[in-house]
Amino acid sequence: MFCTLSVYGIYFVCVSTALPSASVSVSPQGPFYDGETVTLQCDIPDYTDWTYYWYRNNQPGHSTHDKTLTISLPDLDGQHQCQGTRRDQPQQSQLSRALSIQLTALPTASVRVSPQGLLFSGETVTLQCVIPDYTDWTYYWYINNQQLSSQTSETITISLPDQAGQYQCRGKRTTRPQWSNPSSSLPIIVTDYQPSTTLTSDKEDIFTGDSVTLSCTVESSGWKFYWYRHRSDSTPVTTTSGYSYTLSWVSVSDGGQYWCRAGRGDPVYYTLYSDPVQINVTERPVAVLTLQPNWTQIFSGETVTMRCNIQGGGDSDWKYRWYKNSELFIRFNTKPEYRISPVYMFNSGSYTCEGVKGNKLSNTSDAVQLTLSGKPQPVLSVSPQWLNPGDSVTLSCEVDKTSTGWRFSWYRTVPYRAGLPSLSDSSYSVETLSDSSTGTTESFYTLSPAGHTGGYVCRAGRGDPVYDTLYSQPQFLWSGDLQPSVSLRISPNTTQHFRSKSLSLSCEEKGNSTGWRLMRYTERGLESGCVSNWGSITGSTCTISYTYTWSSGVYWCESGSGEYSNAVNITVHAGDVILESPVHPLTEGDSVTLCCKYRTTSSNIKADFYKDGVLIKNETPGEMTIPAVSKSDEGFYKCKSLDKGESPESWMTVRVVSPGSSTSVLVGGVVGLVVAGVLLVILLVLLCRYKNTKSSCFNNRIFL
């Protein structure tokens, strides 16, 4: 507060004014480091005749007439304030705010050594002085507390053992901070022996294509590794920064002795050579996979054995791995065989194998493809299928054209009988032909002489245990000759019939044969019995009231005991012309008349006749007679009308009379004379009645 004299009278006026403010500044600005001096300055406005009072950590300290104060660190760090005083008004200033002077630690130097670890006499060692935060240092080096005045760079190189000792460094720079803290003392100690290396290998005996890793160990760090082959004093085959060296995909030439040693520094300081390691490289054994049996086609249910043979593998101490479609499915097998019995469709695939011996593998075998087919059914063919007396017939059995190794068995069909092997549809049982019970490698079988009408099947087997195919579909051998036990009779008695007409077939039994059934073989296959879609049966006669073209086929009768009748080849024609020809074979010398019939008339029509496609008689009045047939007359016959059309072809069979048959004919004739008188009248009556009702057509023989 100040008091002054008023200009309006003789009295005083007092005015209140704030005290001047003091403030403290520092030079240089922080950060502040140990060992530095800084200048504090107290600034108070408006007046200059101040006495300055300084406070440190709220305690009074120096007083100066100069507004600056120099202090040393770290002794006078802390909170600093100032205040001014004078004689006149105002007599003092306000106390300044506190200025904090806090120390920042100096960067600390450290010494790094390369290489690290044990150091050996003769090595060159590099020391590096590392000081954080700044890069513009001048470096000072000390050995055993004595400065190396000639060394001022960040790194120095020393030689052992002469320059071993305790090393320190520190840094100096032109700006703040000017110094670093000195490093700790690093002892450089010399080991008094030359280091050695130890060479090891993860494998010693390997196959071509394998890899092997050599490892070179030494008791300290910082080394490069030098690898030698054949001779330790040769040029290194390679140099690595790591302690291992891998030879990949080796060949036989990579085998031999290997050494290593380590080196470091410049010039290079080397360890001793290692002891040698012998690497033996041999050709990789080859796995060969074979399939037994070695058939090109294998069927479901057979037995298959795969064998893995290791070629060039030395001793037999192998284990085996098996792969299917490149996936491992047997990891460890002591036997070289893999057996599948029986084999099924899901076993199909591509198989390989390989041998395993310790940590070594053979080559993987080439793939063997196992392709399976379903159980086969052979196909039986019969040639010829229609018999002449004394003919030999060949049965041929074929499984699959690509399969091999079969043995064939042959069978005769009999009506189904419990206790005998049967076909899949149980239509027939089978009996082994007596001389084929053991099977044969031949795919054909000869029936000589063939005998009579009958059915046959075949089957094939192979392997051990024997694998059998299905039975073939039955094939039939047909004879038109009448049999002693039963005969097939047809009415009308001709091989060709018009469609939509009726047809009767009778199994006429002789002797004690029973249980006969009518059979037919058409393009649709084998059918048995006089079933409803055929017609009706009365006694032993089957009547087809309405014929269709599909009624065409070979008909015969067979008994429950396996006896067969003669066979008849019947053709049902949808056209208007048929040829009436003999149902049964003729014998040389017989007379025969072939008739050409038109659907809408009962009389013969004018027609041309053909044999085996060649015109033999033309424009005849509907019939052609051969007075005495011979073997040359055998063949296919048809007739053709210019305006009515032509018939189908029918085969006419002519039997040859053997030379030895004359005696039997003579005896038969003598015996016949005894009954001739009895039968003569009956025959004459029948012939007259027949001629009155039918035209005299193909058949001039009367079958008894």
Domain limit, last residue, from 534, 549, 574:
574
Q: Are 565 and 453 in contact (CB under 8 A)?
A: yes
* SS3 category, 346: helix
pLDDT single digits (tens) 609-631: 999 999 999 888 889 999 999 99
- Which of 7-11, 364-368, 693-697 has the highest average model confidence (pLDDT)? 364-368
Q: For residue 51, give the 3-state DSSP assignment.
A: strand
Strands (E), 256-415: 256-264, 269-270, 277-282, 286-292, 298-299, 304-311, 319-324, 327-333, 337-340, 349-357, 360-361, 368-370, 372-373, 379-383, 386-387, 393-398, 407-415
Q: Is the pLDDT of residue 260 over 90?
A: yes
Distances (CA, A) of 202 to 66, 246, 318: 84, 10, 21
Domain limit, last residue, from 325, 357, 372: 372
* pLDDT tens, residue by residue, 184-199: 999 999 998 999 999 9
pLDDT at 368 over 80: yes
Residues 260 and 293 both lie in one domain: no
- Do 95 and 131 reside in the same domain of the chain? no
pLDDT tier at 663, thresholds 50, 70, 90: very low
- In a domain? residue 657: no
The answer to whether the CB of 584 falls within 8 A of the CB of 566 is yes
Give the model's pLDDT for residue 492. 94
Residue 678 lies inside a defined structural domain of this protein: no
What's the rounded Cα separation, in Å, for the pair 375 and 352?
26
pLDDT score, position 558: 87
What integer pLDDT is reported at residue 108 of this predicted model?
95
pTM for this prediction: 0.60
- The residue among 553, 574, 595 that closes a domain is 574
CATH code for the domain in which residue 54 is found = 2.60.40.10
Residue at 357 is within a domain: yes
Helix or strand run (H / E) with residue 670: helix 661-693
Task: For residue 10, name the pLDDT band (cuts at 50, 70, 90).
Answer: low
Q: Confirm whether 129 is domain-assigned.
A: yes
Classify residue 300: in a domain, yes or no: yes
Q: Is 95 within the bounds of a domain?
A: yes
The whole domain housing 390 covers 379-473
pLDDT in tens, 108-150: 999 999 888 899 999 999 999 999 989 999 999 999 999 998 8
User: Are residues 399 and 468 located together in one domain of the fold?
Assistant: yes
The answer on 383 and 363 residing in a single domain is no
- Over residues 92-111, the pLDDT tens digits come to 999 999 999 998 889 999 99
Cα distance between residue 237 and residue 241, in whole Å: 14
| Residue 685, domain member (yes or no) | no
Strand 327-333 relative to strand 360-361: parallel, antiparallel, unpaired? Answer: unpaired
Number of structural domains found in the chain: 6
> What is the reported pLDDT for 113?
93
User: CB 585: neighbour CB atoms within 10 A?
Assistant: 21
| pLDDT reported for residue 9 | 54
Same domain, yes or no: 387 and 467: yes
Pair (207, 229) in one structural domain? yes
Give the dihedral sign, CA 455/460/466/467: negative
Query: How much of the chain exceeds pLDDT 90, in percent?
Result: 62
Q: Could you tell me if residue 81 is inside a domain?
A: yes
Residue 196 in contact with residue 178, Cβ under 8 Å? no
